[in-house]
Structure 1
Amino acid sequence: MNADGWDERYAATALLWSAGPNRTVVDEVEGLSPGAALDLGAGEGRNALWLAEQGWTVTAVDFSAVGLDKARAAAERRGVTLETVVADVTAYRPRRAYELVLLAYLQLPWEQLAGVLATAAAAVAPGGVFLLVAHDAKNLSEGVGGPPDPAVLQTPEQVAAALTGLRVERAERIRRPVEVDGETRYAIDTLVRASAPAG
């Protein structure tokens, strides 16, 4: 889906996704000392807003101006500051390094995602952390929800192998509880966490 399509989706509802951050992002980030964070594919800002509330200086990048408008409005209501950048993450090039680079459910075909991963890995500051959470390829057969197109689903091994220059700390599939018709079912996610060598 292109930027116009996402603008329409975000404009059609108060919040397309949850207002709260992704639970896995919270679990992986809570122990880190706040610094500068880059959220690639930030959408309506659910994770970027939470990071800002934890003391991070956040740059949120997305090609949907409508999504980022909603993120800025939420930031104002919540008393935090976000830098927002309307840009296609496949072409975006950060101008600085970050202590945290986050990709949360950025579901792209591999030929596009590989380039974004290279950009993201290069943007991690010495001693900083790269974190990706995404719908896993096995979610189609073993999980619930998520995109039905296998071309935009990843595996932990695939993502980890693309992170040139980073030390991979975790590359695994995780089960995420999802409420479906009043019962708990599980989505299968890819989780990859890596760090850049300290300078």
Structure 2
Amino acid sequence: MDRQQWNERYAAKPLLWAVDPSPFLRGELGDRPAGRALDLGAGEGRTTLWLAERGWKVTAVDFSDVAIDRGRQRLEAAGLPGAVEWICADLVEFDPTGGSYDLILLLFIHLPAPDRRRLLRLAAATLAPGGMVLVVGYDTTHVGQEGGPQDPSVRFGPEDIVTDLEGMRIERAERLAVGDAIDAVVRAVRD
């Protein structure tokens, strides 16, 4: 989808995604000490807001300026204006270098494999020692199910992300059944 299509999709509903991050995500990140986070494909900022409320300094990147405006409004309503740096950019072209992050999130962002690999490798290079990358998305086996991209070429398995993050310490790489969905989950750390 292009920027206009995403903007139309966001504008069609008061809130496109759930208000709160998933219990899975809260479990993965809940005990992690606050630091600097890069939320790639932040959407309306549900994870961004949750992190900012816990003291994280967040850079949130999304393709849709409608989603970013909504995220800014949500942060203002929560009393956190200015707590997040919002960047409107196409992740296929985005270069995250120039920052140093303790956490990088790529949650349900489905790009063509070469673009995903490039983005993840560039982003991983910005991790501080001990920093973590968490990638979650619709698995290659999530075929014929509701939700997720219908183009199977942009889905990925944990093994794809492990290859993308070559050289990092992989703490978790698995397929998870979540309701009717099958998700690929990879958590990697920079030593």
- By the TM > 0.5 criterion, same fold? yes
For residue 116 of structure 2, what is the aligned residue in structure 1?
113
TM-score, with structure 1 as normaliser:
0.90
Q: What number of residue pairs does the alignment pair up?
A: 188
Q: Any idea what the Cα deviations from partners look like across 1:75-103, whole Å, max 9, x if unmatched?
A: 00012222101111122122211000000
- d(CA) in 2 for partners of 1:84 and 1:25? 21
Amino acid at match of 2:59: T
Q: Is the 8 A contact 1:133 1:192 kept in 2?
A: yes
**Runs of at least 4 residues of structure 1 off by over 6 A?**
none
**Which of 143, 149, 152 in structure 1 is aligned with 2:151?**
149
For residue 33 of structure 1, what is the aligned residue in structure 2?
33
Matches within 5 A, 1:162-173: 162-173=164-175
TM-score, with structure 2 as normaliser:
0.94
For residue 90 of structure 1, what is the aligned residue in structure 2?
92
Aligned: 1:128 with 2:131: yes
Percent identity among equivalent residues? Answer: 45
Q: Is the 8 A contact 1:25 1:133 kept in 2?
A: no
Amino acid at match of 1:131: L
For residue 58 of structure 1, what is the aligned residue in structure 2?
58
Q: Any idea what the Cα deviations from partners look like across 1:105-139, whole Å, max 9, x if unmatched?
A: 00111121111111221121111111011011111
Matches within 5 A, 1:157-196: 157-177=159-179, 186-196=180-190
Instruction: List alignment gaps of at least 5 residues for structure 1.
Output: 178-185
- d(CA) in 2 for partners of 1:109 and 1:22? 25
For residue 181 of structure 1, what is the aligned residue in structure 2?
none
Q: Is the 8 A contact 1:107 1:152 kept in 2?
A: yes
Cα drift, residue 144 of structure 1: 4.1
Amino acid at match of 1:188: I
Instruction: List alignment gaps of at least 5 residues for structure 2.
Output: none
Q: Is the 8 A contact 1:24 1:133 kept in 2?
A: no
Give me the CA root mean square deviation.
1.2
For residue 16 of structure 2, what is the aligned residue in structure 1?
16
